[in-house]
Every structure is written in C-alpha cells, then in structure tokens.
Amino acid sequence: MKIITIALLAAGIAAPASAQTAPAKPLEMPAKTLNPPTADISPGMQEIIARPLNPDWNFHAKTGEEWRAKADAIAAGVTPGLPAMLDRLHVKMEASTIDGVRVHVLTPDDMPAANRDKTIIHMHGGCYVYFPGESGTTEGIMMAGFGHYRVISVDYRMPPEAYFPAAVDDGITVYKSVLKSSDPKKVGIVGTSAGGALTLEMVVKAKQDGLPMPGAIAPGTPMSDITKTGDSFYTNEFVDNVLVSPKGFCDDAAAFYAHGHDLKDPLLSPVYADMGGFPPTILTTGTRDQLLSNTVRVHRKLRRAGVEADLNVYEGESHAQYQFDDTVPEAKEAFGDIAAFFGKHLGQ
C-alpha cells in the first residue's frame, strides 16, 4: 500500500488525504553540469544567461566606505554607456532634487496624451549599496523609453551616507511631493531587486502613514525577504550567475544597510507585510533567479489578500537579467508588459 500511495506522486494527480508518508528529511542533490538554455530565448539574452558566475558574488565589505568604493568602481563602468542608451531609447535625463532628495527626471520624446498626467517613480536596485547617482537610472530609462512615461528615478541615500530607513524615506518624500500635483491613482512605482523591495516598502510605509495608495506598482524580483528565507535561495544556489548564493554580497549588503534593525521588519522584508489594500501589482522574475521564491511568495500573498497581481517568469534568466541590456528583446518585452499594466490601472 505504501508503494502504491507513493506511486501516486509519480503522475500528477490527487492523493487521498490519508496517503501521508515519512517525516521531513533533507534532499541530497548530486552535483550537476548545467548547459545554458536556448529555447525561446533571444541570442542576446542567451549570451547574458551563459555568462560565468559573477566573480564579485562573494565580495563582503567591512565598512560603508568600502561598499561605497566598490559602488563607485561599478558606477564607473555604467555611466559612460548612458548617453548612447538615452539616445537609443529617445529619453532625456535631467538631474534635480525634490524636497532635498536627489532625483533624475527621465522624459521620453514620445509620450502619448494618456500618459502625460501620469508619473512613474523609479527605485533602483543594488542591494541598498550599489548604483549611486546616474548609474542608478538605467532601469528608469527603460521604463521611460519602452513605456513612454515620465519617470522620476530616486537617487536615495545609501551607506555610508545614511542607513535604514533612509532609502524608503527618500522614496516617500518624492511620492508625497508628486501627490501635491497628482492624483495618487496616476502614480506608479517601479524597481528591481532592492528597488523591487523598496517599491513594496513604500506601499507599506504609505499605509503606515495614512497616505493614499499609488495606482499600480511593478516590483521586479524584489528582495522581499532578507532573512535568507525563500526556497530558491537554495535550489538556485550556484545556478543563478548574478547573486549566486544567499551567502553572497547582496544579503550581506542589505543587512549592512539595516544597521542592526530587525531584518523581518516589513520595511526591510516586505513579504512579512499585511498586503490588504495594496494597489494592483505586476511582478517579474526568471526561472534561475535566487529570488524566484521571494517573488512568487509576494505574488501569492497579494492574491490571498485579494489584490490584483500579475506574474511574469522568464525562461532561464537569473536575478534581474530582464533589465540588464535594453538591446535584448526580453527587456523591451518586460517593460512593455509593465507599461501595459500601468496603462490599464493608472488613473482607474
């Protein structure tokens, strides 16, 4: 009988509730050689997926100054590419401040009439330590260029300049300023990784402070849980070529930003938030993503709370790769889906 009931597992149908088996034991998974996937993936994205493990995955700075030095070195590799990217996507960038918060305003040349009274706030990624200044605008440029919306990309404070809750506070400062001249339903928020977490954290904070909800949000592969919880941290360890491992740089950097604060606070790990009343949400991730689980956990929690929530999972992609390169079709596709979702919900 036991073999028969276990055999049920073999074929994708319901086992009666009585077919309970042995208690939980860890699964021993043998070593594997993984070839890069190619089916239904563009050549440009195939190249991104096939890259070797990020050689900096195990970088661990000891001080805010060390994180900042690394951030500046990375930024120096990004900013020279920005003028060409702005050209390609027909977007203009202007540095400014809003109530003391540094921002870059990104305006597409082509903005349909229906989008002109809408504003998208962009919170960049980088584990709360990377992509200061202009280097944090790339995803915002894609949102403006592919989505044809005006985007305010927030250059929020990071260590060593400031620690938790500086990043979410800076986002909220910009949100409150936008609300002075805009219906909240006409405001969207977008971001990936730490920016995806900050997108959710801004909604948590808005709820706490009694602010109105934005019209829609687009957290991409959000760092929704920085307590090293989430199954794909482990199943996709050494599979994801970007973050690589929960023991890597990224969760370490997030904890550094938290600065001793409880990592389970929904303003740091928003998967623990009460998501009732959240605005319509579109989430994006990839099958090899370390944060696949922490994206789908948010998706399910939103649906369980009765929130409209859409999910896109890209074949073979590791963490955040849908927004690594604006010239691959999957980037245009991802931001096209996000823009369509904003188009459906903003102002409604």
Instruction: State the amino acid at position 220 in one-letter form.
Output: G
* Contact mark string toward its own copies, 150..189, x via CB under 8 A: ----------------------------------------
Whole-angstrom Cα distance, residue 129 to residue 147?
A: 27
Q: State whether residue 128 is helix, strand or coil.
A: coil
Q: Could you say whether residue 274 binds its own copies (CB under 8 A)?
A: no
Supply 48's token pair.
């991104």
What order do you get walking across the sheet with 309-314 strand by strand?
Answer: 91-98, 101-108, 150-154, 119-123, 187-192, 216-220, 281-286, 309-314
Whole-angstrom Cα distance, residue 219 to residue 222?
A: 6
Among 325, 332, 344, 347, binds its own copies (CB under 8 A): 325
Q: How far is the CB of 173 from its own copies (least distance, A)?
A: 22
Q: How far is the CB of 13 from its own copies (least distance, A)?
A: 5
Residue 267: DSSP 8-state: T
Residue given tokens 């009274």 in the structure block:
117
Q: Could you say whether residue 305 binds its own copies (CB under 8 A)?
A: no
Backbone angles phi, psi at 27, to 5 degrees: -100, 130
Residue 203: DSSP 8-state: H
Q: Could you say whether residue 146 binds its own copies (CB under 8 A)?
A: no
Q: Could you say whether residue 85 binds its own copies (CB under 8 A)?
A: yes
Q: Could you say whether residue 25 binds its own copies (CB under 8 A)?
A: yes
Of 46-65, binders to its own copies (CB under 8 A) are 46-48, 50-57, 59
Name which of 219 and 279 has its Cβ closer to its own copies.
219
Q: How far is the CB of 32 from its own copies (least distance, A)?
A: 5
Supply 202's token pair.
């801004």
Q: What is the DSSP string of 226-251?
A: -SS-STHHHHTTTT-SSS--TTSHHH
Of 3-22, binders to its own copies (CB under 8 A) are 3-22
Whole-angstrom Cα distance, residue 348 to residue 345?
A: 5
Among 118, 132, 139, 342, binds its own copies (CB under 8 A): 139
Region binding its own copies by CB under 8 A among candidate stretches 105-113, 130-138, 209-217, 258-266? 130-138
Supply 186's token pair.
């006409």
Q: How far is the CB of 182 from its own copies (least distance, A)?
A: 27
Of 282-301, binders to its own copies (CB under 8 A) are 287-288, 292-293, 296-297, 299-301
Q: How far is the CB of 300 from its own copies (least distance, A)?
A: 7
* Contact mark string toward its own copies, 208..247, x via CB under 8 A: -------------x---x---xxxx-xxxxxx-xxx----
Q: Could you say whether residue 27 binds its own copies (CB under 8 A)?
A: yes
Give how far Cα 153 sits from Cα of 33, 150, 175, 301, Å: 40, 10, 11, 27
Name which of 232 and 281 has its Cβ closer to its own copies.
232
Q: Could you say whether residue 76 binds its own copies (CB under 8 A)?
A: yes
Q: Could you say whether residue 320 binds its own copies (CB under 8 A)?
A: yes
Q: State whether residue 66 is helix, strand or coil.
A: helix
Q: Could you say whether residue 344 binds its own copies (CB under 8 A)?
A: no
